């Protein structure tokens, strides 16, 4: 490879990699900026599993979706299959958003005023009989905290209600906006 | 280990001393050896690569610390600057005849790309799995290796693909299918390694392919996968030993294809025997006999030219004996009988091999020996 070509290749490579990373950042920032805000109740998980390294593991009230509200749940299957699910959320009196209905695969029409569709992945292998619940992951199960601050949150989370303020993009992708300790914002996420 | 040219220098000095060759011929031989010595990694370039790996680890841990005193945008900007500066600065150094430091800078830039992925996941609290992040990192590193025609980056790409394979292949709570994509990755990087002239990457790839087969066997059915691994490896070994020029022209792997063939064969046969265990004694005995025969055949056909192959054969042989003992421990007498028979056969073979090797060596040493 001649000298000029190698330098040009290096510049092009650096720009492609930086461009790719910036594209991810831009996409995530767009969800934070423009997405619909929903307040989700966080449920304490088994404290031994709560903190791994420097992030807090979050489990949501809406992580458990009853099979009975899933309109197109397959009949006669005993375990859940891996795949996308769209859960329609509505705001309750107490300010938290909860699952109203859900569909597997694709969202069912346009959500009504005051409702929003959030996209998740059904975890496979869970009981999915008529009384069962789907375990759904929304890709927002971790909250990264500065080194050493996780255990305090972990302790407090067992004492009083915590919640996550999330932004939901037009395609249903959720993004964490802030971790709330009751009414106070513990950490608010800047766009960048 | 002394390099080839320095060993030749020592040999030539001794030959001059003994009067085989004159001073002029010795100088010509040493000069030729130095000119054609494969440009192996010098001490300095190894240190440069090690320094690059340390810098890379520092970047990744710096990201993991989630240090708040430094604003996020600053951290992202710093990593982007390292990516740009590493690739472009490395290219500049490479052109200024500092190839090793240039390659080291490229490795740092590739590490910064991986660090950026981790940082972005952290910034936006993405709980996507680590395996996917490593796959993207691997793709970026492969692209970098291709664009810069870099051997070390090719090896880094192989290492990342193997790390991805391992992470996905051994996850207990598997949500995803077996990582068959690895075969595609391996094929692409193998082709790339010709362009980047990286025999090291091909060595790592062959080892990773054995890992792939082993994970696949553990995941699906050992009885289906392990014999195929052993058979394919044995065929590769045979091709490499009986058609050395042709296989080397295709694989270009420093003539070490037989060693990889033996490693694959032993891995497959050991998995097969562990799977059979003592449920089916006759089957186990047949598999053990095939393994021992394979090891002996490997030494007979490929062992003379390759010390590495002999050592792997001896290690495999010792392991095989332990395995037989562990599986057949219930019947000591049976084990003893098997060892007795195997020992007799090997003893006879050893006598035969020693005689053959002596006879083969005899004509060569008969001519021109002055001692």
Interface test with B, best of A22, A81, A124, A144 (most B CBs within 10 A): A144
Sort out which chain A residues have CB atoms less than 8 A from B64's CB and list them: 53-54
Q: What is the pTM for the complete model shown?
A: 0.76
For B97, the closest chain A residue by CA position comes to A3
Cβ-defined contact of A143 to B92 (cutoff 8 Å): no
More confident of the two residues B128 and B244: B244
Task: Examine the domain organization and report whether B109 and B69 are in the same domain.
Answer: yes
Question: Among A112-121, B34-43, B233-242, where is mean pLDDT lowest?
Answer: B34-43
Q: Which domain holds residue B201?
A: 132-219
Token pair recorded at residue A113 = 């005023």
Average pLDDT of A139-157?
78
Count CB-CB contacts under 10 A for residue A159.
9
Cβ-defined contact of A82 to B83 (cutoff 8 Å): no
Q: What is the DSSP string of B69-83?
A: TS-HHHHHHHHHHHH
Residue A5 belongs to a domain:
no
Distance, CA of A156 to CA of B163 (rounded, Å): 37
Residue B36 belongs to a domain:
no
Residue B251 belongs to a domain:
yes
The confidence band for A81, taking pLDDT boundaries of 50, 70 and 90, is confident
Give the model's pLDDT for residue B236: 92
Distance, CA of A184 to CA of A165 (rounded, Å): 11
Give the model's pLDDT for residue B357: 67
More confident of the two residues A109 and B155: B155
Task: Examine the domain organization and report whether B335 and B228 are in the same domain.
Answer: yes
User: Are residues B270 and B319 in contact, defined by beta-carbon separation less than 8 angstroms?
Assistant: yes
Sort out which chain B residues have CB atoms less than 8 A from A137's CB and list them: 127
For A148, the closest chain B residue by CA position comes to B65
Give the model's pLDDT for residue A123: 82
Give the model's pLDDT for residue B136: 93
Task: Examine the domain organization and report whether B195 and B260 are in the same domain.
Answer: no
Residue A14 belongs to a domain:
no
CA of A27, closest CA in chain B: separation in Å? 11
Give the model's pLDDT for residue B128: 67
CA of A121, closest CA in chain B: separation in Å? 11
Give the model's pLDDT for residue A47: 52
More confident of the two residues A149 and B231: B231
Interface test with B, best of A3, A9, A13, A28 (most B CBs within 10 A): A13
Give the model's pLDDT for residue A50: 53
Give the domain-ending residue among B196, B219, B242: B219
Query: Residue B164: pLDDT above 80?
Result: yes
Query: Residue A192: pLDDT above 70?
Result: no
Please check whether residue B237 touches A, CB under 8 A.
Answer: no
Range of A135-139, B136-140, B302-306 with top mean pLDDT: B136-140
Average pLDDT of B212-241?
90
CA separation, residue B249 to residues A138, B37, B98 (Å)? 51, 19, 30
Q: Which helix (H) or strand (E) holds A174?
A: strand A174-181
Q: Which residue has the tokens 């195997």?
A: B342
Cβ-defined contact of B83 to A24 (cutoff 8 Å): no
Q: Which domain holds residue A138?
A: 35-188
More confident of the two residues B150 and B319: B150
Interface test with A, best of B116, B125, B128 (most A CBs within 10 A): B125
Query: Residue A51: pLDDT above 70?
Result: no
Interface test with A, best of B88, B108, B124 (most A CBs within 10 A): B124
Query: Residue B284: pLDDT above 50?
Result: yes
Give the domain-ending residue among B219, B254, B281: B219
More confident of the two residues A149 and B139: B139
The confidence band for B1, taking pLDDT boundaries of 50, 70 and 90, is very low
Task: Examine the domain organization and report whether B338 and B229 are in the same domain.
Answer: yes
- Residue A123 burial by Cβ neighbours in a 10 Å radius (0-12, 13-18, 19+): middle
More confident of the two residues B75 and B294: B294
Sort out which chain A residues have CB atoms less than 8 A from B127's CB and list them: 137, 139-142
- Three-class SS state of B221: coil
Query: Residue A49: pLDDT above 70?
Result: no
Give the model's pLDDT for residue B370: 40
Token pair recorded at residue A182 = 């009751």
Average pLDDT of B285-295?
91
Residue A16 belongs to a domain:
no
Q: Looking at the 3D structure of chain A, how many domains does it have? A: 1
Query: Residue A88: pLDDT above 90?
Result: yes
For B145, the closest chain A residue by CA position comes to A13
Q: Looking at the 3D structure of chain B, how many domains does it have? A: 3
Query: Residue A35: pLDDT above 50?
Result: yes
Biggest distance spanned by C-alpha atoms of chain B: 78
Q: Which residue has the tokens 């992202």?
A: B76
Residue A27 belongs to a domain:
no
Sort out which chain A residues have CB atoms less than 8 A from B140's CB and list them: 17, 20
Give the model's pLDDT for residue B277: 76
Residue A26 belongs to a domain:
no
Give the domain-ending residue among B127, B149, B172: B127
Question: Among A51-60, B139-148, B250-259, where is mean pLDDT lowest?
Answer: A51-60
Task: Examine the domain organization and report whether B249 and B357 are in the same domain.
Answer: yes
The confidence band for B371, taking pLDDT boundaries of 50, 70 and 90, is very low
User: Are residues A89 and A62 in contact, defined by beta-carbon separation less than 8 angstroms?
Assistant: yes
Give the model's pLDDT for residue B360: 62
Q: Which B residues, 139 through 168, put their C-beta within 8 Å of a C-beta on chain A?
A: 140, 143-144, 147-149
Give the model's pLDDT for residue B48: 86
Q: Which helix (H) or strand (E) holds A40?
A: strand A36-43
Sort out which chain A residues have CB atoms less than 8 A from B120's CB and list them: 21, 24-25, 28
The confidence band for B308, taking pLDDT boundaries of 50, 70 and 90, is confident
Token pair recorded at residue A75 = 């009949």
User: Are residues B263 and B232 in contact, defined by beta-carbon separation less than 8 angstroms?
Assistant: no
Interface test with A, best of B59, B78, B127 (most A CBs within 10 A): B127
Average pLDDT of A44-57?
61
Query: Residue B93: pLDDT above 80?
Result: yes
For A121, the closest chain B residue by CA position comes to B175
More confident of the two residues B306 and A44: B306
Could you give the percent of chain B with pLDDT greater than 90? 33
Residue A140 belongs to a domain:
yes
Sort out which chain B residues have CB atoms less than 8 A from A7's CB and list them: 88, 91-92, 95
Cβ-defined contact of B120 to A25 (cutoff 8 Å): yes
More confident of the two residues B39 and B350: B350
Could you give the percent of chain B with pLDDT greater than 70? 88
Task: Examine the domain organization and report whether B297 and B326 are in the same domain.
Answer: yes
Please check whether residue B206 touches A, CB under 8 A.
Answer: no
Give the model's pLDDT for residue A37: 87
pLDDT digits (tens, 9 = 90+) for B12-38: 888 888 888 888 888 888 888 776 665
Residue A7 belongs to a domain:
no
Residue A15 belongs to a domain:
no
Residue B5 belongs to a domain:
no
Task: Examine the domain organization and report whether B177 and B204 are in the same domain.
Answer: yes
Cβ-defined contact of B113 to A10 (cutoff 8 Å): no
Query: Residue B118: pLDDT above 70?
Result: yes
Sort out which chain B residues have CB atoms less than 8 A from A55's CB and list them: 125
Task: Examine the domain organization and report whether B103 and B149 are in the same domain.
Answer: no
The confidence band for A185, taking pLDDT boundaries of 50, 70 and 90, is confident
The confidence band for B126, taking pLDDT boundaries of 50, 70 and 90, is confident
């Amino acid at each position: 490879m001649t000298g000029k070509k190698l330098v040009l290749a290096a510049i092009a490579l650096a720009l492609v990699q930086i461009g790719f990373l910036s594209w991810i950042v831009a996409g995530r920032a767009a969800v934070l900026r423009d997405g619909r805000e929903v307040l989700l109740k966080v449920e304490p998980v088994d404290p031994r599993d709560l903190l791994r390294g420097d992030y807090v593991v979050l489990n949501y009230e809406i992580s458990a979706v009853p099979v009975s509200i899933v309109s197109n749940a397959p009949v006669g299957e005993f375990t859940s299959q891996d795949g996308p699910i769209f859960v329609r959320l509505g705001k309750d009196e107490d300010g938290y958003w909860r699952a109203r209905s859900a569909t597997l695969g694709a969202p069912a029409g346009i959500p009504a005023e005051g409702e929003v569709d959030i996209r998740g992945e059904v975890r496979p292998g869970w009981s999915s009989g008529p009384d069962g619940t789907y375990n759904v992951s929304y890709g927002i199960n971790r909250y990264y905290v500065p080194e050493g601050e996780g255990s305090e949150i972990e302790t407090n989370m067992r004492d009083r209600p915590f919640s996550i303020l999330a932004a939901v993009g037009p395609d249903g992708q959720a993004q964490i906006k802030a971790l709330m300790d009751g009414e106070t914002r513990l950490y608010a996420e800047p766009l960048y | 280990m002394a390099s080839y040219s320095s060993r030749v220098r020592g040999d030539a000095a001794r030959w001059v001393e003994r009067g085989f060759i004159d001073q002029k011929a010795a100088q010509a031989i040493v000069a030729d050896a130095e000119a054609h010595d494969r440009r192996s990694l010098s001490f300095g370039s190894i240190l440069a690569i090690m320094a690059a790996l340390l810098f890379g680890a520092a970047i990744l841990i710096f990201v993991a610390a989630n240090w708040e005193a430094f604003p996020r945008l600053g951290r992202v900007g710093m990593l982007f600057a390292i990516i740009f500066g590493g690739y472009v600065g490395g290219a500049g150094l490479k052109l200024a005849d500092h190839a090793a430091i240039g390659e080291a800078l490229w490795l740092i830039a590739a590490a910064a790309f991986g660090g950026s992925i981790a940082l972005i996941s952290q910034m936006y609290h993405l709980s996507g799995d680590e395996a996917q992040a490593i796959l993207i990192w691997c793709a970026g590193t492969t692209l970098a290796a291709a664009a810069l025609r870099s051997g070390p980056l090719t090896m880094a790409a192989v290492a990342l693909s193997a790390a991805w394979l391992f992470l996905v292949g051994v996850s207990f709570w598997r949500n995803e299918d077996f990582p068959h994509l690895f075969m595609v990755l391996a094929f692409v990087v193998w082709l790339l390694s010709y362009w980047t002239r990286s025999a090291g990457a091909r060595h790592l790839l062959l080892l990773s392919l054995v890992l792939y087969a082993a994970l696949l066997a553990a995941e699906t059915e050992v009885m289906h996968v392990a014999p195929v691994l052993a058979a394919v490896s044995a065929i590769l070994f045979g091709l490499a030993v009986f058609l050395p020029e042709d296989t080397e022209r295709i694989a270009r792997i420093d003539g070490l294809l037989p060693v990889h063939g033996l490693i694959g064969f032993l891995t497959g046969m050991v998995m097969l025997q562990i799977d059979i265990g003592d449920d089916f004694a006759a089957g186990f005995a047949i598999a053990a006999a095939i393994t021992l025969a394979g090891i002996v055949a490997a030494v007979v056909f490929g062992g003379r030219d390759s010390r590495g192959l002999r050592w792997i054969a001896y290690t495999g042989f010792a392991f095989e004996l332990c395995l037989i003992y562990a599986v057949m421990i219930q019947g000591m007498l049976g084990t003893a009988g098997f060892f007795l028979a195997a020992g007799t056969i090997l003893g006879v073979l050893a006598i035969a091999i020693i005689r053959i090797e002596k006879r083969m060596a005899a004509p060569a040493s008969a001519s021109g020996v002055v001692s």
